[in-house]
Chains A and B, each alone.
Chain A
Amino acid sequence: MTAPPAITVLAGHSWTAALQHPFFQHALLAGTAVAAAAGLTGWFLVLRAQVFTGDALSHVAFTGALAALAMGVDPRIGLYAATIAVALLLGALGRRGRADDVAIGSVFSWFLGLGAFFLTLYTTSRSAGNGGAGVSVLFGSIFGLSASQTLTAALVGLGICAAVVAVARPLLFASVDEAVAAARGVPVRLLGFAFLAIAGACAAEATQAVGALLVLGLLAAPAGAAQRLTTRPYSGLALSAGLAVAEMWTGLGLSYAIPRMPPSFAVLATATAVYAATYLPAVRRVRPAYRGA
C-alpha cells in the first residue's frame, strides 16, 4: 500500500544522515538489545508452547506501566514489577511452573481490565495532556527514547540475553523431554520459574520499544520462523536472535524513510513478512530433509 511513495522518499534520504540523529541512534541501540533479547526468549517460548504466556505478560506490561504512571512513579518500575510478579504467579498456578491456558487467560484479562481502570485514573486525575499515554504504552514510542533510557534498555537487554544463554542448556533439556530431565536431576520446576521471570523481564523490556500490544510479534515471529527453518537447537536460537535484530533494523530504517509509518508497525510488518516467507516452498527446501519419509 505504501510501497510506491517508499521509493521516492528513500532516494531523498541519506542513511549516514539518519545515523547522525540522536533519536535514531538511541532507537537503533535500544532496538538491537530488545530484539536480541526477544529473539532468544521467544525461541524458548515457542519451543515450550508458551507463546500464550508471552501474550499474557505483554498485556500485564500495559497495566504495570499505567499503574506506575497513575501513582506518579517511573513507568519502567511498574513495567518490570508487574510482568515479573505475574510471570511468577502464572508459574505458581500450574504444575511444574507451567500454567493452564484458561487460568492464564482469566488472570490476564482481569489485569487488562485493571489497566483500563488505571488509564481512566491517569487521564482524568492529572492534567489534560495525558490523553495519548495509553496509546503510547500500548503501541510503543521507540523514537522518543532519551539517552539514559536507551542505556538502561541496552543494559537490561544484554542482561536478559546473558540469562537466557546461561540457562540455555538445562532449559533446552527440560523443554524437550521434561520427564527424563527431571530424572537426571535437572531442577525442572526451578528452571520453569526462572524462565518465566526472564520472559516477564523481556516483555517489559520490549514494551518500551514496540509497545505492550505488539511485544508478542517480536517474541513469536522471529522464533517461529527460526523453528521452521532449522531443527537444530543452537543454530535455531542464534537464527531467531539474528532475525529479530535484522527485522528491527529494517523496520527502523523503513519507518525513518517513510515518516508516516510508525516504527512499531514497520518492525512488525517486516517480522511478519519474514515469517510468511518461511511458508514459501523455495524456503522450505533449504532445511534439512531428515524429517521426511
Chain B
Amino acid sequence: MTALSTLADTTPAWSWNLLDDLREMWSYPFMVNAFRAGTVVAVVAGVMGWFMVLRRQSFAGHTLAVVGFPGASGAVLVGVSAVYGYFAFCIAAALVIAAVPRAGRDGGVQESALTGTVQAFLLACGYLFTALYKGLLGGTTSLLFGSFLGITGGQVWVLVAVAAAVLALLAAIGRPLLFASVDPDVAAARGVPLRALSTAFLVLLGAAAAATSQITGTLLVFALLVMPAATAQSLTARPARGLALSVLLAVAATWLGLTVAYYSPYPIGFWVTTFAFGGYVLARAAATAAGRTATRSASRSATRAGGAV
C-alpha cells in the first residue's frame, strides 16, 4: 500500500511516444518482472479458465481462487513463505470440493452449498490469521487486490515451473477431459473415468489459482479465469480456436492493465478487470447482434417458405 501511494505521488507521465514510453517503463527491472510474471499467469489462466467455463464450474473456480488468501495470511502468521500457503490451501480446497459426490437427486444443490460454506469459512480463517498477526493491515489489501510491485526474478521462475507443470498435466488429460465436459453421459458409457478427471481438473485449477493469486491478488484471480474464457466461448465454439483466443485475450488484458496501472495511480486489479470486462461486453454484444440477424433471416426465409406452401 505504501509502495503504491509513493508510486502514485510520482506517477510517470505518458508522452504518446509509444516506443519511448515502453522503453522507459521497461527500464525498471520490477516492471520487466511484472510483465514476465503477468504473461505466464495470463497464459495459464486463459487455458484453465476455458475449461472451467466449459465445465460450468465458475463457483468452484471462484472458491479455489479466493482460498489463497487464508493460505497466504496463514503462512505469514506461522512464518513461512506465502507461496507454500497459496498452494497448500488452494489444492486442499480443490480436494474437499472434489470429495463431494456430484451424482444423486440433490447433488448440485449440495455441491453449491458446500462450496459456499468452504469458501466463506476459509475466508473467515484468513481474517482470523490477519487479526492474530498484528500489523498486516496494509498487507491484507495487497493480498486481496494484488500488487505488481516487488516481483522477484525467483518468483518468476517458480511461476514458470508451476505453469509448465500445470499445462503439461492438462495436455495429458486434455482430450478425455474435453469429452467428459461436453458429454459426461456418453463419456461415462465409453469408460472415461469422470470422477478422477474431475478431481484432477480441480487440483490443476487450484494450482493455477495459487500461482495467479500471487500477482493479481486472491480476489481478482477469478476475473482472469472467467472473463477471457467467457469472451472466447461467446465468439467461437471450436476448442483449439477458443483456447488460443482465451489465452490471447488474457495476455492482452494483463499487458494493457500493467501498462495503464504503471501510468496511473489506480490499482492493477481495477485495470485488468476493466479491460477484460470491456472485451466480454463487446463480444456478447457482437454475438447477440449476430444471433439476431441470423434469426431474422431464418424467420424471413421460413415465412417465405410458409407462403410458398
Contacts and interface: CB of A to CB of B under 8 A. Distances in A.
- Give the top 6 A-B pairs by smallest Cβ distance, nearest first: A217-B120, A113-B273, A224-B113, A220-B116, A109-B223, A268-B124
A44 B284 CA distance: 30
B19 to A, nearest CB: 29
Contact of A120 (B112, B265, B277): B265
Interface in B207-222: 217, 219-220, 222
Residue from A113, A117, A213, A218 having most chain B Cβ neighbours under 10 A: A113
Given A120-B265, A223-B113, A224-B116, A103 B230 contact: yes
Interface stretch (B140-148, B198-206, B295-303): B140-148
Given A110-B223, A116-B220, A265 B124 contact: yes
A271 B267 contact: no
A265 B127 contact: yes
Interface string B266-279: 11011111101100
A62 to B, nearest CB: 9
B37 interface: no
A272 B121 contact: yes
A52 B112 contact: yes
Interface in A103-138: 103-107, 109-110, 112-114, 116-117, 119-121, 123-124, 131-132, 134-135, 138
A142 B109 CA distance: 30
Interface stretch (B56-64, B85-93, B157-165, B173-181): B56-64
B183 interface: no
A275 B105 CA distance: 19
Contacts of A262: 127-128, 131
Interface of A: 46-47, 49, 51-52, 54-55, 59, 101-107, 109-110, 112-114, 116-117, 119-121, 123-124, 131-132, 134-135, 138-139, 211, 213-221, 223-224, 227-228, 260-262, 264-265, 268-269, 271-272, 275, 291
A264 B4 contact: no
B117 interface: yes
B286 to A, nearest CB: 15
A227 B106 contact: yes
The interface residues of chain B, by DSSP majority, are classed as helix
A235 to B, nearest CB: 16
Contacts of A47: 109
Given A135-B137, A268-B121, A51 B59 contact: yes
Contacts of A214: 120, 123-124, 127
A213 B140 CA distance: 13
B219 A112 contact: yes
B237 interface: no
Contacts of B66: 213
A46 B108 CA distance: 9
Contacts of A135: 130, 137, 140-141
B171 to A, nearest CB: 24
Contact of A52 (B59, B117, B220, B284): B59
Given A109-B226, A131-B1, A214-B124, A116 B116 contact: no
B138 interface: yes
A119 B140 CA distance: 13
A148 B269 CA distance: 36
Contacts of A123: 1, 5
B270 A134 contact: no
A224 B112 CA distance: 9
Contacts of A103: 230, 284
A123 B266 CA distance: 11
A220 B117 contact: yes
A123 B130 CA distance: 19
A221 B120 contact: yes
27 contacts: A46-B113, A49-B112, A51-B112, A52-B62, A55-B116, A101-B58, A102-B53, A103-B284, A113-B220, A114-B270, A116-B270, A135-B140, A135-B141, A138-B144, A213-B123, A213-B127, A214-B120, A216-B119, A217-B116, A224-B116, A265-B124, A265-B127, A265-B131, A271-B117, A271-B120, A271-B121, A275-B114
Contacts of A102: 53, 56, 58, 226, 229-230, 233
Contact of A46 (B109, B119, B124, B280): B109
A152 to B, nearest CB: 24
A221 B53 contact: no
A245 B120 CA distance: 17
B131 A110 contact: no
B132 interface: yes
Nearest to A107: B277
Contacts of B274: 110, 113-114
B8 interface: yes
A264 B126 CA distance: 11
A116 B269 contact: yes
Contacts of B246: none
Residue from B61, B124, B127, B277 having most chain A Cβ neighbours under 10 A: B124
A119 B128 CA distance: 22
A262 B132 CA distance: 9
B25 interface: no
A55 B62 contact: yes
B116 A219 contact: yes
A122 B110 CA distance: 39
